[in-house]
Amino acid sequence: MRVKYEEILKTLEKGINSKEGKIKLLKVSQGRFKEEFNLDLSLEGKPLLTLKIFLGRKPYWLPWVEVFGVNPNLSKLFFGSEAEKKLYKVLSEHFGRVFIEYFEDKETAYELQKGVPPALSRLGFELLKLGYTYFRDWYIPEGLMEGGHKVQAEKPPNEEAKVRHLRVIKREFEEFLKMCDDKDLIEKVKGRYNFLRS
């Protein structure tokens, strides 16, 4: 998957319309090395979040994007919104690997704490619907260079990898059913898993 950086910039400069308002590019700054950029985004003129974009370095490192620093004052409006879905859709068209911080996403944080497989958490499910099949929960309490709590998601490089990833999700789902005693949460996660199978 080739990242078209200029195309991403144009899309964000023009803005992404949603029910919650327009997501627009506020500022671009250079990252730690030449292939890395930080893009600050706004929602209706208010600072929303930051994208850290890595364009890759062939043949060693693939491109990725990290979504982090969601404004706590906008987190309830953003998570679970059309704005969130539309932003992830744009990112999914350019990046086969994403990292999304969920510290302010209370529903996802709660579900992962309760043992919901990352792919079937609220956040993971949004990414699953966009074609990502490999998931990892980066829960690093100290943060350090890795940042806060985040979900990593990757698109499969081929059909064989996709089948393997989906088998892992199935196994994690079955393990979750055995250990969870929250009936409402089980029903919610079952609904997501059944969507995956349809």
pLDDT digits (tens, 9 = 90+) for 38-55: 999 999 999 999 999 999
Using one digit for the tens of pLDDT, what is the confidence trace for 165-193? Answer: 999 999 999 999 999 999 999 999 999 99
How many domains in the chain?
Answer: 1
Q: Is 104 helix (H, G, I), strand (E, B) or coil?
A: coil
pTM of the model: 0.93
* For the chain, counts of helices (H) and of strands (E): 7, 8
Q: The domain spanning residue 83 has which CATH number?
A: 3.40.630.30
pLDDT in tens, 80-108: 999 999 999 999 999 999 999 999 999 99
Residue type for 9, please? L
Confidence of residue 1 (pLDDT cuts 50, 70, 90): low
Its domain, for residue 77, covers 5-197
Q: What is the largest CA-CA distance in the chain?
A: 49
Residue 139 has a pLDDT of 79
